[in-house]
Structure 1
């Protein structure tokens, strides 16, 4: 069974972000899809920030803050676990530089998200737009560096398929989010606010899957709590399978009252049943000539 470990950080972050988005969307729909005073006159679909600038501003700020705090804890936990060898370790200077850059841009994205929720679009529209740009650009660029790092890790640790899976998930996120962000900027610039609002909601919901993807990265740390199980440092998949088979044999032996001691004693007995002394083999108690 999985123990409660570092993987809980991205789960909390993702659930908080998803819950905040659903809360804002459901509130806007349940109240009759109102047209807020700070919306454009021809706009019928509210932006996330339009809903968050009203009565639900405390929810918007709290949700954004908690999401980014636990997401940053996910980033820091991953780096610490890689440093400790409980996840695949960074082996080159390039990888370490990519780590630093990904953290720097993640912090920029964090600041952008928290500040855009504080400086709402109703009272601070220009500041809000700048913070929105920092939020999207910060996390997208951070994801690019993380994806680059995972690509290099996959070269050194080809036996660990989880690195490839995480790489492709993050690459998918980058491609989709960049395309949607370009479309969002274009429609917003052309004053097609309804289309831009739909794109903003889509970008935000897809961001949820990016947050959840760090669950995959942190999950292996549950099985590397002991020094003999350092991830990528001597125990490959084959060795881990052998150890699992030994554990299974011990469990079967325990079911018959012997436990692992029973398994070990059976191995010792099997080894002692065949001996060779001065060219004569003994099987059990009966001496047998070595010529046979």
Structure 2
């Protein structure tokens, strides 16, 4: 059983973010896809912030705040759990620095998201754009540092598949979101507002999967609650270690059976050789060595 543990933080964060996005998008669609006064002429698709500047602004602010607070709690929990040995521990100073930097830039991204929801695009367009840049850049840079940290952890803990899986998920997020962010900036600069709006919604929905990826990172802490099951303890094993050890045990058993089979064949061949050496031919007569007559020299 998983039980209620630290993995709840990214789940709450991801669900809150996804619910807020769906609420804004569905409201805009059901409302007849209106063209708000602060939207440019020719723009038919509203930005997230366009819908968030309407009477749904409280939802936008609350959703952004709850999402980022619980996501930051996920970052802090992960750092604490690694320090306590309930997750794969940071073994070098570099790994600890990378973890700290990822938290710092996540907090910067948090400030950007909360402030852009407060300073809406209808009344504070320039401040809103700066905060949007801060939000996107903060979390992408944070993801780079945490991905770097996981890469180094994977060197020391190759047996833990979750680290490898999380690394590739976050690396995919970095590459995809960076490409989309560049495309978003270019379309915005060229005043292709509809394309930019689609890209903004896409970036936001993909961010949901990044948030949920921390569920994978924090889940092993469920199995390391007791001190004898922490990472690095001699008597404890995590579920990943047990799985790995089971595979190794099966391989060793197979090798042992093969060795025993080979040993059995070698023993049989040796017995046959020894048996053949028990006989000796003297003057054309085959004698058992145990019954061979004594030499005439004695």
TM-score bin (small chain): 0.7 to 0.9
Matched, 1:135 2:135: yes
CA contact 1:10–1:215 (8 Å) conserved in 2: yes
Partner of 1:195: 195
CA contact 2:60–2:117 (8 Å) conserved in 1: yes
CA contact 1:52–1:60 (8 Å) conserved in 2: yes
Q: Which moved more, 1:92-101 or 1:117-126?
A: 92-101
CA contact 1:105–1:139 (8 Å) conserved in 2: yes
Deviations, residues 173-205 of structure 1 (Å, cap 9, x unaligned) = 000000000000000000000000000000000
Q: 1:137 to 1:242 in 2, by over 3 A?
A: closer
How far off its partner does 1:240 sit?
Answer: 3.2
Counterparts of 2:241 and 2:132 in 1: how far apart (Å)? 48
- Larger of the two Rg values belongs to structure: 2
Counterparts of 1:147 and 1:41 in 2: how far apart (Å)? 41
Counterparts of 1:16 and 1:241 in 2: how far apart (Å)? 34
Matched, 1:3 2:3: yes
Partner of 2:117: 117
CA contact 1:8–1:215 (8 Å) conserved in 2: yes
Matched, 1:162 2:167: no
Q: CA RMSD in A?
A: 1.6
Partner of 2:265: none
Deviations, residues 25-82 of structure 1 (Å, cap 9, x unaligned) = 0000000000000000110000000000001000000000000010011011101000
Extract unaligned runs of 5+ from structure 1: 245-292
Extract unaligned runs of 5+ from structure 2: 247-298
Matched, 1:184 2:184: yes
Q: SS of the counterpart of 1:6? A: coil
Partner of 1:59: 59
Q: SS of the counterpart of 1:55? A: coil
Counterparts of 1:211 and 1:242 in 2: how far apart (Å)? 27
Partner of 2:206: 206
CA contact 1:102–1:142 (8 Å) conserved in 2: yes
Q: Which runs of 4 or more aligned residues in structure 1 lie more than 2 Å from their structure 2 counterparts after TM superposition?
A: 231-244
Counterparts of 1:109 and 1:7 in 2: how far apart (Å)? 21
Instruction: Say how many residue pairs are matched.
Output: 244
Counterparts of 1:165 and 1:241 in 2: how far apart (Å)? 16
Q: SS of the counterpart of 2:99? A: helix
CA contact 1:88–1:231 (8 Å) conserved in 2: yes
Q: 1:124 to 1:231 in 2, by over 3 A?
A: same
Partner of 1:286: none
How far off its partner does 1:227 sit?
Answer: 1.1
TM-score by length of 1: 0.81
Q: SS of the counterpart of 1:72? A: helix
